[in-house]
Structure 1
Amino acid sequence: MSTRPELKAPPEIYYDDAIAKKYTTNTRNQQIQAQMTDRALELLNLSRGKPALLLDIGCGSGLSGEILEEEGHIWVGMDISPSMLQVALEREVEGDLFLQDIGQGLGFRPGSFDGAISISVLQWLCNAETSSPTMSPPFRLRRFFTSLHASLCGGSRAVFQFYPQSDDQVELIMSIAMKCGFRGGLVVDYPNSKKAKKFFLCLFTGGTNSNAHVELPKGLTGEEGPGYEDATHKEVIFEKQRARTKERGKRKGPKETAKEWILRKKELYRRRGKEGVPTNSKFTGRKRGPKF
């Protein structure tokens, strides 16, 4: 991550280092990411108790990836923002990370993933930075969905939470996804609420019986009011968050020493292939005398 390739993409996507860190440490952002990732996992409908290899499209600083990990899954993340990925590295997330403009397509082997999720990213593919045909929204969407379909194993799903700007944008995205081999449709949670309304595009790949009817999941409903969300589902989400907080506290264990922290960081950098990591010695993490 020492170099930052030039990627052609709408400038609104980029976060600089300061904004990336501020976004990640904001507790409200953490809560929203957790809620939407939990909902995306529900819509993926994975086998209970069976770890899956999932692709996190637009993983950012790894907030959604941490939820996948805590649910027992292995994940690979990709994002167009070098600053966001750098924050993810500093936070020592467990997923493998790729710097990638998804509008240029994905480079994974066919059938690599058991599913894919994406939080608040898909709408950016509908922006065109230049008049070049290869940068047009239809071209970028087609390249993305074609390569994604190939990357997923048969019978798997991809779930995208996104913010469409218009009905025409939704129709464009869905029509291209279907032409690229997907089935599925749009799931809208809390359609009567201005604040809680969320759009999820649920896509299915063909399985052993590709002609079989696939029933689209139902969106969450509730009366628009002070709570906005369905009370039962809201309590389930909060219970998951409480359990995660408790589990994180258990995993922390005794506080590590300065030397242990340095050794752990060095080993992490070596595993990720970083060059120039100093070798360990008896002086590693030693206390230095006062300066005069």
Structure 2
Amino acid sequence: MLDVALDREVEGDLVLRDMGEGMPFRPGTFDGCISISALQWLCNADKKTHSPPKRLYTFFSTLYSSLSRGARAVFQLYPENSEQLELITSQAMRAGFSGGMVVDYPNSTKAKKFFLCLFAGFSGTLPKGLGSETVDRGVPNQVQFTGQRSRFKNMKGKSAKKGKDWILEKKERRRRQGREVRADTKYTARQRRPHF
């Protein structure tokens, strides 16, 4: 990316640096900060000397000092689990930031995006997440992490694939389409014992 920026002769200076070692800028240099899909990598320990809490705190504390008072910082990230999310937000608050997490489309599996919105030197109001209309109707504004995939959770009354009801519906649909379908018997969609 730096090579592309050099080829295009972009305005401003370019810096190549490990953000876990801190930001090399004078205090109050910037009015804001935006980061996309970079922050979660500080949670990985790539070397024996890397400590994710220390690297996160070093980054956030040096960023806090390089931002002017009243500045904002927004980080889009993809945390692996709730512990990682808690680690990131706690280190940001420990460094002096205020703010919190905003989740766009919290009930979606594909469109869900996490944004850490931070304020340097004052407390602001967090923006509303996109697609969070259900939050206003009493659904708690908590993002739940589970290691389990629930494929048929939101099918709204449809039967699960490969179940007896699903197979009978499929056969009936094919009959209406004029296709040739085997007759229903007592063996239709029966559960078979595993063969060893």
TM-score, length basis structure 1: 0.44
Tell me, in whole angstroms, the C-alpha distance in 2 between the residues paired with 1:151 and 1:158. 11
Percent identity over the alignment?
65
The aligned residue for residue 29 of structure 2 is 112
Higher relative contact order (CA 8 A, sep 6+): 2
The aligned residue for residue 202 of structure 1 is 117
The aligned residue for residue 184 of structure 1 is 99
The letter of the residue matching 2:77 is F
The aligned residue for residue 148 of structure 1 is 63
The aligned residue for residue 220 of structure 1 is 130
Task: Evaluate the alpha carbon distance shift between residue 185 and residue 112 of structure 1 in structure 2; reply closer, same or farther with a 3 A threshold.
Answer: same
Tell me, in whole angstroms, the C-alpha distance in 1 between the residues paired with 2:132 and 2:98. 27
Deviation at 1:93, TM superposition (A): 2.4
Deviation at 1:164, TM superposition (A): 0.5
Deviation at 1:166, TM superposition (A): 0.6
The aligned residue for residue 86 of structure 2 is 171
| Aligned pairs for 1:71-82 within 5 A | none
Q: Name the SS of the counterpart of 2:102 in structure 1.
A: strand
Confirm whether residue 100 of structure 1 aligns to residue 17 of structure 2. Answer: yes
Query: Once the two structures are superposed, what CA deviation does each residue of 1:121-176 show, in whole Å capped at 9, x if it has no partner?
Result: 000000101222xx110111011001000000001100000111110000000001
Q: Name the SS of the counterpart of 1:99 in structure 2.
A: coil
Task: Evaluate the alpha carbon distance shift between residue 187 and residue 222 of structure 1 in structure 2; reply closer, same or farther with a 3 A threshold.
Answer: closer
Tell me, in whole angstroms, the C-alpha distance in 1 between the residues paired with 2:31 and 2:76. 18
Tell me, in whole angstroms, the C-alpha distance in 1 between the residues paired with 2:89 and 2:22. 17
Q: Name the SS of the counterpart of 2:117 in structure 1.
A: strand
Q: Name the SS of the counterpart of 2:15 in structure 1.
A: strand
Report the structure, 1 or 2, having the larger helix content.
1
Tell me, in whole angstroms, the C-alpha distance in 2 between the residues paired with 1:123 and 1:177. 13
Q: How many residues are treated as equivalent by the alignment?
A: 133
The letter of the residue matching 1:149 is Y
Q: Name the SS of the counterpart of 2:106 in structure 1.
A: coil
The aligned residue for residue 48 of structure 1 is none
Deviation at 1:215, TM superposition (A): 1.5
TM-score, length basis structure 2: 0.65
Deviation at 1:222, TM superposition (A): 6.4
| Aligned pairs for 1:1-292 within 5 A | 84-132=1-49, 135-206=50-121, 210=122, 213-221=123-131
The aligned residue for residue 6 of structure 1 is none
Larger radius of gyration: 2
Deviation at 1:99, TM superposition (A): 0.7
RMSD across aligned C-alpha pairs, in angstroms? 1.4
Deviation at 1:92, TM superposition (A): 2.6
Tell me, in whole angstroms, the C-alpha distance in 1 between the residues paired with 2:5 and 2:86. 33
Give 5+ residue unaligned stretches, structure 1. 1-83, 224-292
Deviation at 1:87, TM superposition (A): 1.7
Give 5+ residue unaligned stretches, structure 2. 134-196
Tell me, in whole angstroms, the C-alpha distance in 1 between the residues paired with 2:6 and 2:117. 30
